[in-house]
Chain A
Amino acid sequence: MNRKFSSAVLIIFLSAFFVYADSVTISEIDNSSLLVNQKIKTSINVTDNNGKPILELTRDNFRIFETPEGCVEEEKEIIDFEAGKNMNSGINLLFLVDNSGSMYANDDGSIEDSPDESIWRITHAKNALLSLIKEIKNPKDRTGVVTFNYKTGNIEEPTNKLINIEKALNEISKPEKGEGYTELYECLYESVDIIKNYGGRKIIVLLSDGENFPLENNSVFTERVGIDGAIESARKEGISVFTIGFGREADAESLRKISAGTGGLFFWASNQNDLEKLYSLIREQVLNEYYISYRAGMEAADKKQVRVLYDTGGSTFESRSFYYSDTMFGLPQDKINYLFFILIPIALLLLWLLSLLKFEKKKSGPSLDVLTMNGKKAKMPAMTIVEGRDEIKIGSAKNSDMTIVGDAKISGHEASIKKKNGRYTIMSDSPTGVIVNNRRVKSKGLRSGDLITIGNTTIVFDSGEAAVKTEKKK
């Protein structure tokens, strides 16, 4: 009797201590617009000593400061200020409910394994949720539920069809033997994944009556993130986690750490009445959050701390949080490395070298170049016409001076090239003549560039002259 009394006092004292004064919390810092318009958007939760949200505040009640990591604090001008923004745009509420074995005991934990459903903690949680759902009238509000023990279950993603939530709640059942563990951290991490793709304000309300009690070698969670990983993932997505400890065995320390790390609040509850009030209160708090935006500073830093000062006219209260400032432009180095600029002359040098790639032909002797064979580029090397050579026979015969293999249309001897009067002349061996520059001729004095077509093969005659120096006109 004595023990119960003192623990009750302790609980009341702790709760009172927690909600004693006005309090202000930065519940969310949204940096998604940072690179778009340099805006940081915050959601501020202001409550009185009963936890009731304080309404009708104006921007004059608030001051906001930003400290980039490693720099000095600077006050920022408030750009946007809106009260009750969430009431219009709707919020996403995900209720994460402990479904471990201990939730089937009664409220104070004295009776376990009772067949009477009505005294179970889980029943009280269900009822509290059902009564909260009746309060939700805004079709833009989405509500979801997830239970957890050794894994998540009864998942109903945020929806405005509340009948689905009722259905999911009614399907909650006692875990089998060996399932009754409490994978609090991992299931919280999973809940973040469930809610993160929904647009608008996102809240997880976590109800637990015990502590994180992992199942060894749990096949569901091959990689574990732990409490820090879960907090980190919620914070990165701007999700505030409100935590409720049900009963004395609740792990207040961890639950407080989770809510503090994500911009939420922690509450004690000991019965269904408490739960109903708390669920309703949390929702009310979120709906009445103040939306404040300001322009982020230009300093490049990984992390920036934000401090909000709330002035009641008499006293001031403050809250601190931080956000990861997007370094998507990249973080600059500590000092400029002027050595990088050496690349400029190197690049110009490369450009100059490129311009030297002339692909120019040098002066050489006359030659015959097989250009194409059977429509494709020929791979035969050019044949230089040796000075003094009297006659060059062209054909498919092996004893030709220029043997062309691979072309069925070429006969043994098609044509010969002879030097006549100092000029190379082609003469046809066949009665039909030979094609030079697409014209059928019997014989022709060859000029540089003349294209000889024999069969399916084209051959270019090159007299060997290269560049001709031209006089610059004045």
Chain B
Amino acid sequence: MPLSVRIILFGFIGIIAGLIAWPFTEFILFYQASFPSLLLFSMVLGVIIGFLMGGCFGLGEGIISHAYGRIIPGMIMGMVIGTVGGLIGFVIGQAALLLLGTTFFNSVGSFRRFGFPLSKALGWGAFGICIGSIEGIRSKSVNKILIGIAGGLTGGIIGGLVFEYLRVSNPENPYLRLAGLLILGLLIGICYGIFENRMSNASLYLLNGRFKGKEFLLNKRRTSIGKSEQAEIPLEGYRRVADLHAEIIKEKKDYMFMLTEKNEVTQMVTCINDGQTDKKKLSDGDIIRVGSAQLQFRTR
């Protein structure tokens, strides 16, 4: 699977996230009058959207990477962070509304056309940041969090602008709201994928076996390789691979390969460029053998 397909898949996850969030949004909108205040109403709206979309994005990464062990923890983490994201997004949106309304836009007409969608888009940007960082927080990777912030902010602001303009242009049309949510999700997903692609300096390309052709981005400080589902690069279905066989550690610009499970068997089946290795600094094109799997290290 080429790396660019990952971007498309993230976009697809985003669309699904929007699909899930929309019916609940319409439901809450219908009961608008029963809320004691507008503030609470819009907060609840943000939280529900965050919870649902966050959960979807959270489990989506696990599905795309076929790391099935990550799906449930990812979803739970996504729900929590998404809820927080919905709250933060709402607060920032309101603050921006207050600021823009009182300082920049004196005309009611221009406030409605520009000030309102802009403030809300900023709120969605903040929301996107939280959604984007779900994967990074789950895998405790600072680099991934940065990727998520960049991608989520971009996708959130652009998607948020589209969503808000669609809402304002035709307030009675629920299907426009659906379109807006789908586009928001799609953009967050795609922007996340694009930033992930751009901000990863190296990758491992699997040359043989079950997942031949799969390319793994190395964007964490420590990337684990092994048979276990918890490994970042899961090599299930390959022979003589230990649960957590080896690691690639990123130090500044260098990538170090390290054998983590040291025993007679693993030492024999772990080679770089056909030489048995415990530890080595990697160069572009190095062929890493782990058990029956061979991976090519690529710098991008």
Contacts and interface: CB of A to CB of B under 8 A. Distances in A.
Contact of A359 (B20, B26, B29, B211): B211
Contacts of B69: none
Contacts, number: 195
B29 A330 contact: yes
Which residue among B34, B64, B172, B214 has the maximum number of chain A CB atoms within 10 Å of its CB?
B172
A457 to B, nearest CB: 13
Which residue among B97, B208, B211, B286 has the maximum number of chain A CB atoms within 10 Å of its CB?
B208
B101 A468 contact: no
A191 to B, nearest CB: 13
A329 interface: yes
Contact of B37 (A31, A199, A298): A298
A468 B168 CA distance: 56
A223 B186 CA distance: 40
Question: How big is chain B's contact interface, by range?
Answer: 35 or more
B211 A361 contact: yes
A38 B22 CA distance: 25
Given A344-B23, A451-B207, A359 B1 contact: yes
Nearest to A299: B33
Contact of B209 (A197, A199, A358, A449): A449
Interface stretch (B78-86, B236-244, B254-262): B236-244
Given A35-B97, A448-B292, A355 B63 contact: yes
Given A197-B107, A298-B41, A328 B168 contact: yes
Interface string A350-364: 110011011111000
A460 interface: yes
Given A355-B63, A451-B207, A347 B116 contact: no
A465 interface: yes
Nearest to A92: B106
B26 A451 contact: no
Interface string B1-23: 10000000100110010011011
A330 B172 contact: yes
Contacts of A198: 106
Given A32-B101, A35-B38, A354 B64 contact: yes
Interface stretch (A12-20, A247-255, A335-343): A335-343
A170 interface: no
A424 B145 CA distance: 46
B227 interface: yes
Contacts of A295: 37
Contacts of B39: 37-38
A331 interface: yes
Given A237-B107, A336-B30, A437-B287, A468 B294 contact: no
Contacts of B207: 371, 449-451, 460, 462
B288 to A, nearest CB: 10
A330 B41 contact: no
Contacts of B107: 196-197, 237
A1 interface: no
B63 A438 contact: no
Interface residues of A, number: 67
Interface string B52-65: 00001001100110
A351 to B, nearest CB: 6
B66 interface: yes
A447 B239 CA distance: 13
15 contacts: A198-B106, A298-B32, A298-B33, A336-B26, A336-B27, A340-B174, A343-B20, A354-B60, A358-B66, A438-B273, A448-B292, A448-B294, A449-B287, A449-B292, A470-B237
Interface of B: 1, 9, 12-13, 16, 19-20, 22-23, 26-27, 29-30, 32-39, 41-42, 45, 56, 59-60, 63-64, 66, 68, 94, 97-98, 101, 106-112, 116, 167-168, 171-174, 177, 207-214, 227, 236-239, 273-275, 285-287, 289, 292-294, 296
Interface of A: 31-38, 196-200, 236-238, 295-300, 326-333, 335-337, 340-341, 343-344, 346-347, 350-351, 354-355, 357-361, 371, 436-439, 447-451, 460, 462-463, 465-470
Given A329-B41, A462-B212, A468-B238, 10 more contacts: A196-B106, A328-B171, A344-B20, A354-B64, A359-B214, A438-B274, A451-B287, A451-B294, A451-B296, A465-B209
